[in-house]
Structure 1
Amino acid sequence: MSWVLGVDSGGSGLRFALGSTAPDGTAGVTTVAATASAEPLRTGPSGIDAGQLLARLLPAVDTLLAQAGVDTNTNTDMEAGSGPGVLSAVAIGAAGMATLGEGLRAELPAALSHSLGVRRLVLAADAVTAYAGALGQRPGAVVAAGTGMIALGTDLTGWRRADGWGHLLGDCGGGAWIGRAGLEAAMRAHDGRRGGSPALLSRMEEVFGPAPELPGLLYPRTDRPAVLASFAPEVARCAAGDPIAAGIVSTAARHIAEAAAAVCPPSGACEVALTGGLFGLGDPLLVPLRAELAGQLPHATTVSAAADPLGGALLIAGALAGDTLRLPHDARLLNVLTEQDG
């Protein structure tokens, strides 16, 4: 039996899962234990804080191995100063890895080798672990949508990415995008401008207070995308009876379908999986999205995601341990680091 670790780092904190796999990797990965840390990782000048991740990861590994009943003291392969050496592979999926992962890529391999004896490590964008969780290692496309929105596709020779550029430059159709559009429509109604929605104004004032106070409440916040996204469910609820809200959600569906169309492998049929909390908005979003996907991707089949990003990280770790990883390597999206890499 081989032990592997999957890590999912996002805006809601970190999640860790310990899995077991057969030495040849043919039987897949079985989740044995899981734990979580609620505080998200901070970012600094070199990106995601590698030291903070390591400080959370090491005690989590101890907890998981204890839950699994693994006695690390009996491991005879341990080298001096290299930790227990129990884990065959680790896969870490993190939000912002593609653009803010330099610190992790520079510091984590040596740190994990020294602390845990890890010789096989994958550092992946959270969209990649979402892809692996949703579709495994087969070709297709995945749209991951929550506060933000990113689409990722592969034909297993390379990755195609669309959006995921953050709430100022993109994430079109994501939760922050829908929430911001809804709040704008509410402020238009407050001003008496065209395109305003009295229904959304009413909901906004119930949630945030008087309209003139909203800028002062919103702009100083460092978590503005999450605050904007918190209003997306209100927009969806209003969509049934309010044409402005319905138009916002329909436009979001078009943006999401456009991103999926941009990343689908160009030849043959394409499976498209939808994953992330945004799709919990239900029919107000899903009905127009299905119509948009049918129009923009008539050759595609929408499928349910098999697992979440943590499950995807665990699948990648298991495949790496068994030398069966087929997803394309990429310096920013799926960075594979092994002992021989130095």
Structure 2
Amino acid sequence: MTSSVPSAAIDLGKTRCRLLLTDGDERIRIDGDGAPGLASSQGVDAVVAAIDALLRHVDATLAHLGVGAAGAWVAPEEAGKLAHRLAARTGASVVVASDVVTAHLGALGGEAGTLLIAGTGAAALGVDAGGARLVDGWGPDLGDFGSGSWLGREMLRAVVRADVGLGPETALTRVVTERVGAASVIPSWIARDEPLARRLATLAPSVLDAAESGDVVALGIADEAVRLLTASAAAASSSVAVAVHGGLTDHPWFRAKLGASLMSAGRTVVPAAGDALDGALLLSRRTDLPHERFAHRAE
């Protein structure tokens, strides 16, 4: 690093934690394990431990530290506690916000618009002159409509229904047999003591591949996912610009269908300017953004 005082940004999810250290034009990335969301039991302690594991690799005094943390949207008190603990730990000016907020900031560069996230979960955050609105992000039990976990769940439902004659035959049965087992073992696979949403999401690419190949059942599931994601984006904001993010958008066929659907809804898909780390860094350096209402700061 150069002689100037560097800044850092952290993107903390439930699976991984990423740290970006910046000093002028120099950027260093450090990756580690994630932590349960701030809203979980002992959430602040777990998040501090995950972040501290990365900060141990930083041999410098920080001027600013921006953090996007899973769960901060629904646990603002815990987000405030996290900001103060990190400020005491680092001596930096610290800001903590939801990882959805920092992802929006990074994707749209602090400007108005909607960020549509279509990954393991799903959410749409819209920011415009009228304020900010989060649609979905409610988790797999209540929402995450059109997400990877939703696609995987609908795939398994289609297979168990076909197995007892309540639904049409589908090529998805062969995929599920190879990945999970016979239809009869699906309930026990669901009940395993392992994170279900991530396991379901691993099935999503197979649904999309089968839909692209013309399987009627898979195509129906994919079409409904597109409809649900588009509805979330439209409900989040009246802004035309929509940045799309998440693992599902890595599937070219699905991304094209989603883009066409958003266009039909009067939206324009714009390329992401950056990611959640860029957004956390931006929020750490500016207090004049419309996202400020979701920022928890400590010195």
Query: Quick check: TM above 0.5?
Result: yes
Partners of 1:130 and 1:41 in 2: how far apart? 18
- AA in 1 matched with 2:91: G
Aligned 8 A contact 2:148 2:204 in 1? yes
Residue 227 of structure 1 is matched in structure 2 by 199
* C-alpha deviation, 1:43, in angstroms: 5.2
| TM-score relative to the length of structure 1 | 0.80
**Alignment of 1:241 onto 2:223:** no
Say which SS state the counterpart of residue 87 (structure 1) adopts: coil
Q: 1:329 aligns with which of 281, 284, 292?
A: 292
Residue 41 of structure 1 is matched in structure 2 by 35
Residue 215 of structure 1 is matched in structure 2 by 187
Displaced runs of 4 or more, over 4 A: 43-48
Count matched residues.
Answer: 295
Residue 163 of structure 1 is matched in structure 2 by 136
Matches within 5 A, 1:82-97: 86-97=61-72
Identity, % of aligned pairs? 32
Partners of 1:44 and 1:272 in 2: how far apart? 27
Partners of 2:133 and 2:152 in 1: how far apart? 27
Partners of 1:6 and 1:248 in 2: how far apart? 37
Q: Which protein shows a greater Rg?
A: 1
Deviations 1:112-136, CA, capped at 9 Å, x for gaps: 2322112x22211111111111111
Residue 109 of structure 2 is matched in structure 1 by 136
Distance 1:156 1:187, change over 3 A: same
Aligned 8 A contact 2:156 2:186 in 1? no
Aligned 8 A contact 1:19 1:32 in 2? yes
Partners of 1:282 and 1:11 in 2: how far apart? 26
* C-alpha deviation, 1:12, in angstroms: 2.0
Residue 280 of structure 1 is matched in structure 2 by 250
- AA in 1 matched with 2:73: A
Partners of 1:45 and 1:139 in 2: how far apart? 27
Residue 4 of structure 1 is matched in structure 2 by 7
- AA in 1 matched with 2:201: A
* C-alpha deviation, 1:295, in angstroms: 1.9
Deviations 1:70-95, CA, capped at 9 Å, x for gaps: 4xxxxxxxxxxxxxxx2222111122
Deviations 1:38-80, CA, capped at 9 Å, x for gaps: 3x31358765622232233234224133xxxx4xxxxxxxxxx
Partners of 1:171 and 1:92 in 2: how far apart? 23
- AA in 1 matched with 2:52: L
**Alignment of 1:111 onto 2:85:** yes
* C-alpha deviation, 1:192, in angstroms: 1.6
